[in-house]
Chains A and B, each alone.
Chain A
Amino acid sequence: MFRAVSNRLGSIATVMFIVATVVFVISRVIPGDPASVVLGAAATQDEIARLRIDWGLDKPLIVQYVAFLGQLIRLDFGTSLFLGQPVAAAMLERAELTISLCILATLISVLFGMPLGILAGARRDGLFDRLGSALAILGASLPSFWVGLILIRFLAVDLGWFPVSGWGGPEAGWAERLHHLILPGVVLSLPNAVLLLRITRTSMIDVMSQDYIRTARAKGLGPSVVILRHALRNALLPVVTVIGLTAALMIGRTVVTETVFGLPGIGNLVVQAVLRRDYPVLQGVLMTVAGLYVVINLIVDLLYRWIDPRVRGSLQ
């Protein structure tokens, strides 16, 4: 076991080194300069050059690269050029919002996608099935930013039910924060809800044609008992897998949602870092995401090894 873990850690170090190099090169290859952004459009070349010196951006790229690697070894992503705070602190501060948003969106997608999928699958070609198919096509075709703007217009501006943007001021409690997250949560949940609807429907159709369902009906059980107690439990297995997968992918889609709703989360942080060329933030976020994927993979590998003895040999 120890040997397997140390082997894995060795390969993780190699992967992270490659990722760090790619991240550094990408962030410096894209044209643009943080000093120009911070000084504004009226700044001259000399003034920009002076700030670049202050920030150490005038040094050869290899020197900056070595300094970056040195920071990484100390698990230090440096300080943002614009935010006036360490990158790690900036990410932590925004993670609360993004994670809350993803959890809420996952809940919404489950609450809407699964019941509709169950109803659609239980009565194939029935009213709910047709309605569900129409919703699925609609939900899959509409771009998130457009849905966001339409919801803002009607539910926030015309009806006044929700705030338009942000997630509350310094005095906001959890209830106000939640209130700010509902509309973006709905927008973020839409593609997942549609996917869940389709997967649940397919799974339900599959299960409903099984012999034991026929037996349950033959025993005289009511439709709700057959669907909820006998069919649903078996149909849920692939659905739960999809929920897990889509919840992870959701973080990537927060970029658009957070931008439309003016939410200061991780997605917004990345967008702003790219627009401002805030190299430390860009590097820090990309390294963190890559690191999380690598660690999750490690855990999964070790779990496989623990669960299935046949894998042990191949891992060692």
Chain B
Amino acid sequence: MTSIVRNTENGSAGAHPAAAAAGSQQAGRLSRRGVLLAAAAMGIALAPARGVAQGSAARTNLLTVALPNDPPTLDPTTNTNNVTSIITQNVFETLYTYDAAWNIVPMLADGAPTFADDGKRVGIRLRAGVKFHDGSTMSAADVVASLERFLKLSPRGGQSMARITDGVTATGPLAIEIRLKSPYAPLLQMLSFFSAAPAILPEAKAKGAMGGPLAAIGDYIGTGPYRLVERRADQYVRLERFADYSALSTAPSGYAGKRSALVNEVRFIPVPNANTRVQSVLSGQYLVADGLSTELYNEIKANPNVEPMVVDNGGWLLFVMNMRQGLGTNAGIRRAVQAALDPESMLLAGFGSPQFFKANSSIYPEGTVFHSREGAQLYAQKNPQRARQLLAQAGYRNEPFRILTGTQYDFIYKGALVAAENLRAAGMNVRVDVMDWAAVLEKRYDASVWDCFLTLHNFVPEPSLIATFNPGFAGWWDTEQKRAALGRFNSTFDPAQRAVAWNDLHRIMAEDAANLLIGTYFGLRAYNKRVEGVQPLLQAPFWNVSIKS
């Protein structure tokens, strides 16, 4: 099938028997001649092996991508795991998607939606002739069933959207209507985002998996440029070019426009050890390595065959306060914590170089529509004296302030340690509870065991997709002013009014000191210089990506 395999097999098959033969001939005698022969045999064994990496260099049809872990599931709808989205976005498509400037543009929809009844009835026309991987053609019935599944199972937006959705119906062979109880401005964001996505499946597949994740490999039927052919847990996930892919004709931009499968196969391989993962791309064994530690940047840069890629919109770090129980319910103590923190030091400890983070008070970067200066005066105060005053006013009596943190993400752990020192400098009695990530994910919903936890949030292009704004998210931030501001933001369609509403929400976030923004961070990826077309996006797609011969 491929040159890497042939080269390796030729090399090994020719070499190892030689070594074995030499070994068997000399087994009974320990002489200088034996040692020399054994060394020669080793040389024969290893010399062609050097060609493994070089042999792989000749390949242009197998794109190998080393990922930080094996996806817990490949269902595109039922989870928010980054690794899952990286893979599944190549297989499944949504009605809308994002261009390079994060504007929403049609994907499987045929044009912009139509709004009626004060925005409560949303009509969407569908593209004709779109083929699924099983050969069937997409119809309104498929889209209705898929959206119903999304509303029932998606943890990010689907289930919150379900609360205000009356139903989804087919209004024609290629037309659907979404009926809402009230106008819902983030609707198109929900229909576009690729994490916990409203992926479009054939009706039978969607209806057959209404209770949970897709099960059999044959259920993973999408419309994307690649189709899922094999998953071997902890070994690899294989995608193959979908020959009948129904591509758009518009120019590629971000996730939008014409998608082309330029290689025969994309293979995702989990390599959990961060150092091994980077070495696998430096050696040429794999062509792309994702989710790399920023400490490895210089080593990657020094390799002539590999290029580092800094992913601008990685995500942000948040210090989430427990507003249900304990010290975090006292607004004065929350503001004291806010006054004491030194975000830049936390980020520096976590990422090593300012090249990989930005200590800023705005969730969204400058130049974007959601960049906000509201609440900036409360950010990075680095003022332990003021924190002491606020603690005294709040009636703090040296109770332990418990920071929950995990070791899976090094930058979170290190950031939490720096935060603990900031708070101790302000006179707080701080306890850092360190556990593994699975335990953190569980314990954060036990309000009795923590006062705050440091967490990451992947970049999302729109505030309505931010999980921590959900009142059900750990921290339980649900003040009256926040609820009102979020309501205004979600029900306002006018872009100018939305920006105003977002500024309000941004200010309230800082004033409530509920989710303390520490800063934004960037990701690091490495790819072989023969690979062309990888985009600097957190979840980079692998369509329009090719390999030079």
**Which A residues are within 8 Å of any B CB, using their own CB?**
30-34, 36-48, 51, 54, 80, 82-85, 90, 93-94, 111, 115, 118-119, 149, 152-153, 156-157, 159-166, 168-173, 175-176, 178-179, 224, 228, 259-262, 264, 268-269, 272, 275-277
Contact in complex: A30, B234 (CB < 8 Å): no
Set of chain A residues within 8 Å of B279, measured between Cβ atoms: 149, 152-153, 156-157, 164-165
Most-contacted residue by chain A among B28, B233, B279, B437 (CB, 10 A): B233
With known contacts A169-B267, A175-B12, A41–B285 Cβ distance under 8 A: no
* CB nearest neighbor in A for B78: A39
C-alpha spacing A22/B253, complex, angstroms: 56
C-alpha spacing A92/B234, complex, angstroms: 14
* CB nearest neighbor in B for A162: B49
Contact in complex: B285, A163 (CB < 8 Å): yes
Q: A37-B438, A84-B73 are in contact. List 18 more A-B contacts (CB 8 A).
A: A32-B438, A40-B82, A40-B155, A41-B455, A115-B30, A149-B276, A160-B52, A162-B49, A164-B283, A165-B269, A166-B269, A169-B5, A171-B1, A179-B11, A262-B271, A264-B235, A269-B234, A272-B70
* CB nearest neighbor in B for A175: B12
B188-238 CB contacts (< 8 Å) to partner A: 195-196, 211-213, 215, 230-236, 238
B275 at interface (Cβ–Cβ under 8 A)? yes
Contact in complex: A157, B73 (CB < 8 Å): no
Contact in complex: A161, B46 (CB < 8 Å): yes
Contact in complex: B234, A272 (CB < 8 Å): yes
Cβ-defined partner of A170 (8 Å) among B238, B271, B285, B445: B238
Set of chain B residues within 8 Å of A156, measured between Cβ atoms: 279, 283, 285
B499 at interface (Cβ–Cβ under 8 A)? no
Contact in complex: B80, A164 (CB < 8 Å): no
With known contacts A42-B467, A166-B235, A276–B438 Cβ distance under 8 A: yes
C-alpha spacing A44/B160, complex, angstroms: 11
C-alpha spacing A179/B455, complex, angstroms: 41
B325 at interface (Cβ–Cβ under 8 A)? no
Contact in complex: B275, A45 (CB < 8 Å): no
Cβ-defined partner of B72 (8 Å) among A37, A118, A261: A37
14 example contacts (A-B, Cβ-Cβ < 8 A) are as follows A32-B439, A40-B196, A45-B472, A51-B212, A84-B233, A118-B30, A153-B279, A165-B269, A165-B271, A165-B277, A171-B5, A172-B8, A260-B273, A262-B269
B485 at interface (Cβ–Cβ under 8 A)? no
Contact in complex: B271, A166 (CB < 8 Å): yes
* CB nearest neighbor in B for A84: B215
Contact in complex: A31, B16 (CB < 8 Å): no
B335 at interface (Cβ–Cβ under 8 A)? no
B383 at interface (Cβ–Cβ under 8 A)? no
C-alpha spacing A90/B9, complex, angstroms: 27
Cβ-defined partner of A40 (8 Å) among B80, B234, B272: B80
With known contacts A31-B435, A162-B49, A276-B438, A40–B81 Cβ distance under 8 A: yes
With known contacts A54-B211, A165-B285, A272-B234, A259–B467 Cβ distance under 8 A: no
C-alpha spacing A275/B456, complex, angstroms: 19
C-alpha spacing A272/B438, complex, angstroms: 11
Interface size classification for chain B: 35 or more
B473 at interface (Cβ–Cβ under 8 A)? yes
Contact in complex: B49, A160 (CB < 8 Å): yes
C-alpha spacing A147/B473, complex, angstroms: 43
* Smallest CB-CB A-B distances: 3 pairs: A40-B80, A32-B438, A175-B12
Cβ-defined partner of A179 (8 Å) among B12, B84, B211, B230: B12
With known contacts A160-B49, A164-B276, A33–B441 Cβ distance under 8 A: yes
With known contacts A172-B5, A264-B235, A44–B470 Cβ distance under 8 A: yes
Cβ-defined partner of A175 (8 Å) among B9, B80, B81: B9
Set of chain A residues within 8 Å of B11, measured between Cβ atoms: 175, 179
Contact in complex: B285, A42 (CB < 8 Å): no
Contact in complex: A176, B445 (CB < 8 Å): no
Set of chain B residues within 8 Å of A40, measured between Cβ atoms: 79-82, 84, 155, 196
CB distance from A229 to the nearest CB of B (A): 10
CB distance from A187 to the nearest CB of B (A): 12
C-alpha spacing A170/B4, complex, angstroms: 12
Set of chain A residues within 8 Å of B457, measured between Cβ atoms: 41-42
* CB nearest neighbor in A for B471: A44
CB distance from B238 to the nearest CB of A (A): 7
Contact in complex: A159, B50 (CB < 8 Å): yes
B415 at interface (Cβ–Cβ under 8 A)? no
CB distance from A203 to the nearest CB of B (A): 17
Contact in complex: B280, A165 (CB < 8 Å): yes
C-alpha spacing A112/B84, complex, angstroms: 44
Set of chain A residues within 8 Å of B212, measured between Cβ atoms: 51, 54
Set of chain B residues within 8 Å of A157, measured between Cβ atoms: 279, 282-283
With known contacts A38-B73, A162-B49, A48–B9 Cβ distance under 8 A: no
With known contacts A40-B155, A163-B52, A171-B1, A262–B270 Cβ distance under 8 A: yes
Set of chain B residues within 8 Å of A85, measured between Cβ atoms: 233
* CB nearest neighbor in A for B230: A170
B284 at interface (Cβ–Cβ under 8 A)? yes
With known contacts A54-B211, A260-B273, A32–B436 Cβ distance under 8 A: yes
CB distance from B358 to the nearest CB of A (A): 21
Contact in complex: B80, A170 (CB < 8 Å): no
